[in-house]
Amino acid sequence: MKTEAAEAIVDLAKSGDSPLYVAAMGCVTNVAAALLMAPEIVKDMVVIWTSGYPSSAPHSNRPSLNLVQDVHASRLLFDCGVPHIYLPGYHVGAQLNISLPEMEQFVRGRGAMGDYLYHLYTNNPLHKMFALEDTARRTWVIWDIINIAWLINPEWVPTYLTSSPILTEDLHMQTDPNRHAMAEAHDVQRDDIFIDFYDKLATLS
């Protein structure tokens, strides 16, 4: 499927002198489309993506919205050999949660951006969708911030090299040591990431 985003990825990957780092938010449809349109760019880009469970976990990845929205694209990303920084959402990215008191103290009033983020937090449609009560005392996970955190400082999201897994039909990860390598996150420095976020917002006040 040819899309404007996929065409932009191909153009940027081909025009740069160094690898193009793609921080994929949500499902990887556009990334997969770009790789199908121009398979040669596999050597010219690095994909940073958060979804699912660690590749060694025994769980089905069916709960992962980023993965199941486009299973074919997810499978292609693990199979094609593109350099891949895999940041598991569950157990790793799930630590990037934020509370209402933190939003009130460090986000609200920090420029138009801070006020808008506070509005989104306090008017979150997912609270109603999941029928969550007592939302003032619940935290909320900001999953995809982990991609940008790795780009800013990889030490905030430590990784190790492992073989890229096979995504099975029932959406389990199947390991094969003979497959190409990928980097996979095993931890996250939650406080360092949010302190940097708060400091940057403070400059907008």
In the CATH hierarchy, which top-level class contains the domain 4-95+142-188?
Answer: alpha beta
Indicate whether 114 pLDDT > 90. yes
**N residues, the chain:** 205
Instruction: Quote the Cα angle for 36-78-82, to 5°.
Output: 60
Indicate whether 190 pLDDT > 80. yes
- Scored b (16 or more CB within 10 A) or e, 129-142 reads eeeeeeeeeeebeb
Indicate whether 160 pLDDT > 80. yes
List beta partners, residue 20: 45
Dist. CA 129–CA 125, nearest whole Å: 6
Indicate whether 163 pLDDT > 90. yes
- Provide the residue ranges of all domains of the chain, joining segments of one domain with +: 4-95+142-188, 97-137
CB-based burial label for 203 (10 Å; 0-12, 13-18, 19+): exposed
pLDDT mean across residues, the chain: 95
Q: What is the pLDDT confidence band of residue 205, given thresholds at 50, 70 and 90?
A: confident
pTM to 2 decimals? Answer: 0.94
State pLDDT tens for residues 31-54.
Answer: 999 999 999 999 999 999 999 999
HEC profile for 126-185? HHHHCCCCCHHHCCEECCCHHHHHHHHCHHHCCEEEEECCEECCCCCEECCCCCCEEEEE
Pair 27, 67: CB distance under 8 Å: yes
